[in-house]
């Protein structure tokens, strides 16, 4: 049986042959208290009238008549 590193290399080669490439993202942990506090602070500082207008626009452009 192939070692894990060899299997990963083979998998990456197969994906690259298909035109795909691995992408790793590092994102904030949504369960961390510091992250939750930062999000709450940012939400509290939003301009509510601008946000309402943005939501109206999103709702307006998302309502397409589909036959």
pLDDT in tens, 7-34: 999 999 999 999 998 889 999 999 999 9
Closest CA to 30 of 21, 20, 39: 39
Percent of the chain predicted with pLDDT > 90: 78
Confidence at residue 67, expressed as pLDDT on a 0 to 100 scale = 56
* Domain total of the chain: 1
In a domain, 11, yes or no: yes
CA 65 to chain centre: 28
First vs last Cα of the chain: how many Å apart?
54
Q: Which letter does DSSP use for residue 46 in this model?
A: S
In a domain, 10, yes or no: yes
Q: Which domain holds residue 45?
A: 4-62
In a domain, 67, yes or no: no
């Amino acid at each position: 049986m192939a070692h894990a590193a060899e299997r990963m290399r083979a998998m990456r080669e197969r994906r690259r042959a298909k035109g795909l490439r691995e992408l790793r993202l590092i994102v904030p942990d949504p369960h961390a208290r510091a992250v939750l506090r930062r999000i709450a602070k940012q939400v509290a500082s939003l301009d509510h009238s601008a946000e309402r207008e943005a939501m109206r626009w999103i709702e307006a452009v998302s309502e397409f008549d589909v036959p």
